[in-house]
């Protein structure tokens, strides 16, 4: 199984929740906090569950999510 790390730029996030609605593992959630623009932002509650499918980064209208793929070498 592929493993990934979603890197969420909280200053770019507007809190629309499209990533949360489309995450197949349901590991994204809205933070109880606001960024400097006054918007709620998304956080990942359990990075170990991420399968690097890229659904959140595809749906994000503000390109706030980058996906890093973990690869085992050696």
Partner 1 sequence: MSTQNLHMYRRPEALLNVRTHYCAGCGHGIIHKLFAEALGELNIREETIVVAPVGCSVLLYNYINVDGLEAAHGRTPAVATGVKRAQPNRIVVSYQGDGDLLAIGTGETLHAANRGENITVIFVNNANYGMTGGQMAPTTLVDQRTLTSPKGRNPQETGYPIRACELLSTLEAPAYIERVSLHNPGAVKKTKKAIVKALQYQKEGRGYSFVEILSMCPTNWGIEPAAGADWIKTSMVPWFPHKVFRDRPAEAAAAGGKAS
Rule CB under 8 A: which residues touch partner 1?
4-5, 12, 14-18, 20-22, 37, 39, 52-55, 57-63, 65-74
Q: Of 32 and 36, which has the nearer Cβ to partner 1? A: 36
Measured CA to CA, the distance from residue 32 to residue 38 in angstroms comes to 12
Strand-pair category, 40-44 with 28-34: antiparallel
In the complex, minimum distance from the CB of residue 45 to partner 1, in angstroms, rounded to a whole number: 18
In angstroms, what is the minimal distance from the CB of 19 to partner 1?
10
**Shortest reach from residue 13's CB to partner 1, in Å:** 9
Dihedrals phi, psi of 19, to nearest 5 degrees: -65, -40
Cβ-contact 3, 31 below 8 angstroms: no
Three-class SS of residue 30? strand
């Amino acid at each position: 199984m592929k493993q990934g790390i979603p890197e969420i730029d909280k200053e770019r996030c507007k809190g629309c929740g499209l990533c949360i609605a489309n995450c197949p593992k349901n590991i994204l959630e809205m933070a109880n906090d606001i960024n400097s623009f006054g918007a709620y932002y998304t956080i990942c509650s359990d990075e170990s569950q991420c399968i690097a499918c890229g659904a959140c980064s595809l749906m994000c209208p503000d390109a706030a999510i980058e996906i890093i793929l973990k690869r085992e070498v050696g």
